[in-house]
A and B are shown apart, each in its own frame.
Chain A
Amino acid sequence: MRRMLPAGHNGLLVECDDLADVMSLHRAVEASRPTGVIDLVPAARTLLLTFDDTTTRSDLTAAVANVGTAEAIAPLDRPEVVIPVTYDGGDLAEVAELTGIPVDEVVRRHQAADHIVAFTGFAPGFAYIAGGDSALNVPRRPTPRTRVPAGSVSLAGEFTGIYPREGPGGWQLIGRTDAVLWDLRRETPALLTPGTRVRFSEVGS
């Protein structure tokens, strides 16, 4: 059951059943784009709608309530993005230990899965990439790193994430990529947007 939570005068936070439900709701609301909606912010379990004064929370609640739950999430009709990865991250051994899966098998499983971008956030161009092998779910590092290099491919919970630029971060680093995640010269600056299919591919393999 989705729960509708008020987020101030111009926000509605919809708590969904699970990540798949967030993604299907986001897709549906994005397609219908109710009047007055400014921003849609999908996250792991919630979709935030912010709106202007041309609509009301009750109108949007009604619009969201009309969207069916748990509709299958068909990947968007755009090409899969292949991310070339060098699997030499500083936490690869830690991930192997936490999961009980040898390093080469971690690398194999990470490439084998059909990934899809669930949502973005944290920093411009940072995508929460879902659909990975659930055996590779690991917690964040107990102490975040103060400096994670740009292009670091990392794991946390059910997600893979790639740091668009250098900065602090607490995810487990498994590799690095030369893919440019954020480029303002592109029409869509973010390489990975919600719904994009993603495959990771080891460099030189």
Chain B
Amino acid sequence: MIEVLRSGPLTTIQDLGRPGYAHLGVGRSGAVDRPSLRLANRLVGNLEDAAGLELTFGGLALRATESITVALTGAPCEAMAGGRGRDLFAPLALAAGDILEIGMPSRGVRTYLAVRGGIDCEPVLGSRSTDLLSHLGPDRLRDGDELSIGRPNGDAPGVDVAPVRRLPDEPVLRVVPGPRADWFAPDALTVLGHTRYEVTSSSDRVGVRLDGPPLERARTDELPSEGMVEGAVQVPPDGHPVIFLADHPVTGGYPVIAVVHPEDVAAAAQLRPGQPVRFECVRLG
């Protein structure tokens, strides 16, 4: 069992989400930075789809009530256990009674904690993910919560540390033209590709909201709501783009000018308020 001493600004249980239910109005949800959760699971010998914790701006403190193995990935932050700093991106053994305290990330937003055996809770539609938009899955963590751990499945950890790339100061996200690129002024994609946007503080698991020169529409009529994909760059009437993340609505009524490359969605998920970001328009392969 894991005892949550301090839940931090926002900590949720996440796995790889619940794809396949969009026709019921249920989005995929799951870890917004899926590669980081996968890596954390691999480091503790779990299958990649085991449920772990997604920390938003760190701040989590927990006590192990039994000996457990955990790993931290994603946004790097200070981790203290037994009075000394511990490495991220590595399996970390905690003895019964050990307290693990996680600080605020120095870059990025979301840190992932996997525990050998996975977090065990009742799945909803095949997933243990918390969908904050649809209010599905387990509640966000609260101080004093006790989390059950599943039975280990798969091989024991076999590495000391995983090499990872440092999160960039000014990420460049590759995008391809979206289904409604023709709803925008002819130069709108060029503007998108040549603008340094700033991430706003209203960004969340639904989407990253950006500030910058507004993207002009060529058509001002109302778009009937249509299906949305992860990574969609949707442009509301104010012209400021929003990049959809894991908890995005299944359908939306604003045109999508571009879609972020699937391999760059994780980088979008780690964008901090105030951070600059740019787009690079590429062709759909």
Shortest beta-carbon distance from A26 to chain B in Å: 8
Shortest beta-carbon distance from A126 to chain B in Å: 6
Residue B72 CB within 8 A of the other chain: no
Are B178 and A8 closer than 8 Å at their CB atoms? yes
Residue A174 CB within 8 A of the other chain: no
Residue A189 CB within 8 A of the other chain: yes
- Note all chain B residues with C-beta closer than 8 A to A137: none
Are A41 and B227 closer than 8 Å at their CB atoms? yes
- Note all chain B residues with C-beta closer than 8 A to A40: 22-23
Are B249 and A10 closer than 8 Å at their CB atoms? no
Residue B106 CB within 8 A of the other chain: no
Count, A-B residue pairs, CB within 8 A: 115
Residue B256 CB within 8 A of the other chain: yes
- Note all chain A residues with C-beta closer than 8 A to B24: 120, 124-125, 188-190, 193
Shortest beta-carbon distance from B230 to chain A in Å: 8
From residue 108 to 148 of chain B, which have CB atoms closer than 8 A to chain A? 124-125, 134-136
Are A123 and B23 closer than 8 Å at their CB atoms? no
Are B225 and A8 closer than 8 Å at their CB atoms? no
Residue A9 CB within 8 A of the other chain: yes
Question: Which one, A43-51, A70-78, A91-99, is touching chain B?
Answer: A43-51
Tell me, in angstroms, the Cα distance from A41 to B252 when the chains sit together: 11
A contact patch SS = strand
B contact patch SS = loop
Residue B215 CB within 8 A of the other chain: no
Interface size grouping (class) on chain B: 35 or more
Interface size grouping (class) on chain A: 35 or more
Tell me, in angstroms, the Cα distance from A189 to B125 when the chains sit together: 9
1/0 per residue, CB under 8 A from A, across B61-81: the answer is 000000000000000000000
- Note all chain A residues with C-beta closer than 8 A to B227: 7, 11, 13, 41-43, 46-48, 50
- Note all chain B residues with C-beta closer than 8 A to A8: 176, 178, 229, 231-232, 259-262
Are B259 and A7 closer than 8 Å at their CB atoms? yes
Are A6 and B177 closer than 8 Å at their CB atoms? yes
List 30 A–B pairs whose Cβ atoms lie within 8 Å, in order of A's numbering: A5-B179, A6-B177, A6-B178, A7-B227, A7-B256, A7-B259, A8-B176, A8-B178, A8-B259, A8-B261, A9-B284, A10-B262, A11-B229, A13-B179, A41-B227, A41-B228, A42-B23, A43-B251, A44-B226, A45-B226, A46-B224, A47-B227, A48-B22, A120-B24, A120-B25, A121-B25, A121-B249, A124-B24, A124-B136, A189-B125
